[in-house]
A and B are shown apart, each in its own frame.
Chain A
Amino acid sequence: MTTSTEPYVLNIGPQHPSTHGVFRLRVVMDGEKIKDLDMIVGYLHRSMEKLAEERTFTQNIPFTDRADYLAAMTGNLGLAIAVERLAEVEVPERAEFLRVIFSELQRIASHAMANGTLISDAGAWQTPLLYMFREREKILDLFEMTCGARLTTNYMRIGGVAFDPPTEFWPALRELVDELPSRIDEYHELLVENEVFMARTRNVGVISPEDAINGSLTGPALRGSGIPWDLRKAEPYSVYDQMNFEVPIGANGDVYDRFMVRMSELYQSAKIIKQAMDLIPEGPHKTDIPLALRPPVGEIYSRIESPRGEIGFYLVSDGGPAPYRFHIRAPSLINLSLLNELGRDSALSDAVVTLGSLDIVVGEIDR
C-alpha cells in the first residue's frame, strides 16, 4: 500500500483572526507546508477613487481616513500636500509643525498596533498587544482632544490643519513623549530578547534587498531588508528637513528585522515630536482657501512616508473643483504583493507571521 499526502485548499479568510480585516488567502497546502498561495482582495472595496471624482478636494480628505484607517493622519497629510503642491497653496509655519507632530504620533500609534498584532499572530495571548495599546490609547486621546475623533481624524486641511490643539494638549503630549522611551524599553524586555519570539521570527520571511526593491516595497518592510530609504529624509516634506532623526535599517530582512525597525522608529518618532514641540512657532494654523478650491489644470504625483510606507496621491485636475482622477498608491497593497513569494514552501505558521510583519491594512488595499 502506498502512502502519500494530497494537497488541499485552505481558505484563510475573509473572516479569520489573522488576516487583519476582510481579505482572503487561498492556500494550497501539503500537510503543514504551503504549496501555493493566492491573495484575493476586494472584500472591502468601497469605490473610493471613483467617488472622489464627484467631491471637492477638501471633501475628499475623509476618504483618506477610511483608506488607511490605522494611520488617518498621514493619509490626510498625503492628500493635503498633494493638493497644496497642485494648487500652490502656502501653509503657515505652525501648521507644518502640527502636521509633523500629528503624523509622528500617528506613526507611533500605527507601529504599536502593527507590532502588537504581529506578536498576537505569533501566538502571545494578546499581552504585548495590550501593552502596546497603552501608548496608542494615549495618542488617540490626544487626537480626540484636538479634533474630536480618535480613528478617522479628518484633521489635515488643504493649507494647514483643522484646529489648533487646546492648551491642555501640550503638557499631555510632553508627558507622553517623555515617558515613551521607558515604555518602549519595557517592550524590549518583554519581547526583543524573548527566545520564543526570536525562534518564531528570525530567518522567517526573508526578503533580500534586491527583492525588496524589485517588489517596490516601501516603509519598514523595505528598511527591514537593509535599504536606507525614508521619504522623510529622501524628499523632505513639511518641515522634516529641520528635524534631526535617524533611519533604522535591519540586517537580514526577516520578520524580526521588520519588527525591530518599527520598534526603533518609535524612538525616532518620539525624538521628532520633542524637537517639533521645541521649535513650533506661534501663528495661524491654517490659510484660508476657497471652499471649492479650483487648482489649475494639471496633474501631480505626491508622496509621503506613511507608517506602512510610501503613500502616494496621483491627482489630475481639469480646473474644476473636483479631481478628474484621484488615485491612491497604497503601500499595503504593494507590500502585500510579495507575500506570494514569501509564503510559498513555508509553514503555515510562518506565512501568518510574515503576513503580520508586512503590516497591511485592508481598507487601504481595497480602498
Chain B
Amino acid sequence: MNLDSPTPMSRQIAEHSTLIERFLGLPKIALLIFVLLIAALGLGNGIIGYLVVAGELDGTWYDIRDLGNVNAALRDAILSSQLNTYIAGALAYLIPAILGATGIVSVVGGWLLIGPWAERRLIAKFQIRQGPNRTGPFGLFQSLADALKLMQKEIVIPTGADRFLYFAPPVAVFIPAILGWAAIPWAPKMSFADMDVGVLFVIAISSLGVLAVFVAGWSSNNHYSLLGAMRTIAMMVSYEIPISLSLLAVVLMTGSTQLSEIVTWQSTHNVWLIVLIPFAALAFLFASTAEINRTPNDIGEAESEIVAGFYTEYSGMKAGLFMAVELGNAILVGALMATFFLGGYTMFGLETWIPGYIILATKIGLVYFLFVWIRGTLPRFRLDQLMGFAWKFLIPVSIILMFIVAIESAIFIRWDVPAAVSLGLFGLINVTGAVIISVVWIRILFKDLDLAAPERPRLVTAVGGLKAAKEIRG
C-alpha cells in the first residue's frame, strides 16, 4: 500500500508527521516557554562550563555531574546537626537510602513508560508501518494507556491454580530487575551500593529470577505455562555459566570485582573492555538475551509455540508486570553491558563536561536499540540448538579464552610495560585468539554443520512424477 495515497488516515499522518510542524502548530505562549527553556538550559550550561573550567565545581552539592554529591552533602548536614547520635545516624543512613531507591525506581518506572513506546515505534519503523501514534504527542502516552487498560481488566484465576503461589511471581520477578540496579555506578559517587562484591552481586541477583519464573509456570496449572517455565529455567541455568565466565574475564582483566573500579580501570587506561576481550562481551550479550528472554532466544515465551510461555494464564496487570519486567531486565542488561564492556559512565574525558549518568543512559539506550534491532530481524532458535550453543560452544571457548586473559593479566600486573603497548597487544591476541579458537572449535565439534548456503530450487520446464524427479536429480 502506498503511504502517499490520499486516504484520510495517511493524510492525517502526513499532516502531523514532522517535528517542526508539530511545534509550529502549538500556541505562541508554548513556543515562548520552549524558547525560554532552551535559553535557560544554555545559560545553565555556560555557568556550569565556567565552574568546571575554574575547578570550583568538584564535589560541591550543586555539582550536578554527580548526584552522589547531593547525597554526601545531605549526609554531612545530618551528621553535623544537633540531633541525637542514634537518630542522626539512622537518618543519615535512611534518607540517602530512600533517595537512592526512589531514584532507581523512577529510572526503571520512567523507562517502563517510555520503553514500550520506543520499542514499538522502532520496530514499526523496521516493519514499514507507523507504530503507536495516536495517544498523546507522537503516541507517547501509549504505555500509560496500556497500563490503565491492563489494570482495569478482570483478574482471572485458572481452575486448579495454586492460589498461594500464583500471586507471588509477578511481584517476585520484579525484585531482581530492580535490585540489580543497586550495583550500577552512574557517576563516580552515584551508586546505590558500590559493593566490593559487585560482580558477584550481579550474578547472584540474576539467578534469582529463575524461581519466580518457575513458580509462575507451575502454579498456573497449564501445560503451556509449565513448558515455558521449564524452557526458561533450563536456559537460565545454562546461560548463567557463560555470563559468569565472561564476567570472570572482566574481573581478571581489571583486577577488581567492584563495578566502579571496573569503570575506573577502563577510563584510566582509555580503553573499553569490549575491545580488549571481545569474545567475552559478545558471549555476555548473547547469554543475556537468553537470560532475559529476548529474541533470538525468547523460547521461554515463544508465541508461535507455547502462546505466552510461563505467563500464559496471567491476565490483567499481572501479565503486564511480566511484560514490564522483560523491558526492565533489558535495560538492566544494557546497563551491565555498558558498565562492564563499554566504559560505564565515562567516555574518554567527556564525563567532565556531560554528567556521567547521561553518558551511561545513552549507552544503555544503544544496547537496548541493539536488542530491538535483533528482535525486529531474527527468528528464534530451537531449545536444543540454544542449549548446544551454550554448552558445546560458549562455555568451552570462554574457558580457553579466560586462561589467555588470566595469563595476560598476570603479565600486566607483574611486568613493567607501558599500558598502551601491552593492552594493545592483549587486544590483538584476544581478538585473533577468539576467532581462531572459535573456528577450530566449530570445525572439530560441529563437523556436520552445513554453513554453506543451500542450493536454490532447481528450475525445470518438463513435469512428471517420481521418475522425472529421479532423472532430474541424476
- Interfacial residues, chain A to chain B (CB-CB below 8 A): 8-11, 16-18, 29, 31-32, 119-127, 130-131, 134, 137-138, 141, 190, 192-200, 202, 209-210, 213, 223, 225-230, 233-234, 246-251, 256-257, 260-261, 263-264, 347-350, 352, 356
Contacts and interface: CB of A to CB of B under 8 A. Distances in A.
Closest 6 CB pairs of A and B: A123-B380, A248-B457, A246-B459, A18-B304, A137-B1, A122-B379
Interface in B427-474: 450-451, 453-466, 468-470, 472-473
Nearest to B450: A202
A352 B305 contact: yes
A196 B466 contact: no
B471 to A, nearest CB: 9
B134 interface: no
Contacts of A248: 457-460
B383 A228 contact: no
Nearest to B451: A195
A122 B377 CA distance: 12
B294 to A, nearest CB: 10
B457 A249 contact: yes
A251 B376 CA distance: 30
B367 to A, nearest CB: 18
Contacts of B383: 32, 347, 349
A123 B296 contact: yes
Interface string B299-328: 100111111000000000000000000000
B382 interface: yes
B461 A233 contact: yes
Interface stretch (B104-112, B122-130, B154-162): B122-130
Contacts of B299: 123, 349
Contacts of A226: 469, 472-473
Contact of B128 (A11, A130, A200, A229): A130
Nearest to A209: B469
B375 interface: yes
B289 interface: no
B329 interface: no
B385 A199 contact: yes
B381 interface: yes
**Chain B interface extent, by class:** 35 or more
Interface of B: 1-2, 123, 126-129, 223-224, 227, 230-231, 295-296, 298-299, 302-307, 375-385, 450-451, 453-466, 468-470, 472-473
Contacts of A196: 296, 378-381
A363 B147 CA distance: 36
Contact of B375 (A120, A125, A223, A356): A125
B303 A17 contact: yes
B384 to A, nearest CB: 7
A73 B307 CA distance: 33
A228 B466 CA distance: 8
Contacts of A249: 457-460, 469, 472
Contact of A260 (B2, B380, B456, B473): B456
Main secondary structure of the interface of A (DSSP, over half): helix
Contacts of B457: 223, 248-251, 257, 260-261, 263-264
Contacts of B127: 126-127, 130-131
A335 to B, nearest CB: 17
Contacts of B304: 17-18, 120-123, 352, 356
Contacts of B378: 123-124, 194, 196-197
B382 A227 contact: no
A161 B382 CA distance: 47
A119 B305 contact: no
Contacts of A202: 450, 454
Given A123-B296, A209-B470, 20 more contacts: A18-B304, A18-B305, A32-B383, A122-B380, A123-B304, A123-B379, A124-B380, A125-B295, A126-B127, A127-B376, A138-B1, A196-B378, A196-B380, A199-B381, A223-B457, A228-B472, A248-B460, A249-B460, A251-B473, A260-B454
Contacts of A198: 454
Contacts of B454: 198, 202, 251, 256, 260
A137 B2 CA distance: 9
Given A10-B224, A247-B459, A127 B377 contact: yes
Nearest to A262: B457
Contacts of B302: 123, 349
Contacts of A264: 456-457, 459
Given A126-B127, A200-B379, A352-B304, A229 B465 contact: yes
12 contacts: A10-B224, A123-B380, A127-B127, A130-B127, A134-B128, A197-B379, A226-B472, A230-B463, A234-B463, A248-B460, A264-B456, A349-B382
B45 to A, nearest CB: 40
Most buried by A among B377, B382, B459: B382
Contacts of A213: 465-466
Contacts of A250: 457-458
Contact of A200 (B381, B451, B464, B469): B381
Contacts of B463: 228-230, 233-234, 247
Contacts of B227: 10, 29, 32, 348
Contacts of B456: 260, 264
A30 to B, nearest CB: 12
Contacts of B375: 125
Nearest to B296: A196
A173 to B, nearest CB: 14
A6 B299 CA distance: 22
Most buried by B among A124, A225, A248: A124
Most buried by B among A32, A223, A352: A32
A199 B298 CA distance: 16
Contacts of B460: 228, 246-249
Contacts of B295: 123-125
Contacts of A120: 304
A166 B22 CA distance: 39
Nearest to B471: A228
Contacts of B231: 32
Given A125-B375, A127-B123, A228-B469, A251 B458 contact: yes
Contacts of B379: 119, 122-124, 194, 196-197, 200
Contacts of B451: 195
A260 B2 CA distance: 27
B458 A125 contact: no
A196 B381 CA distance: 6
A242 to B, nearest CB: 14
A73 B395 CA distance: 54
Contacts of A209: 466, 469-470
A248 B473 CA distance: 13
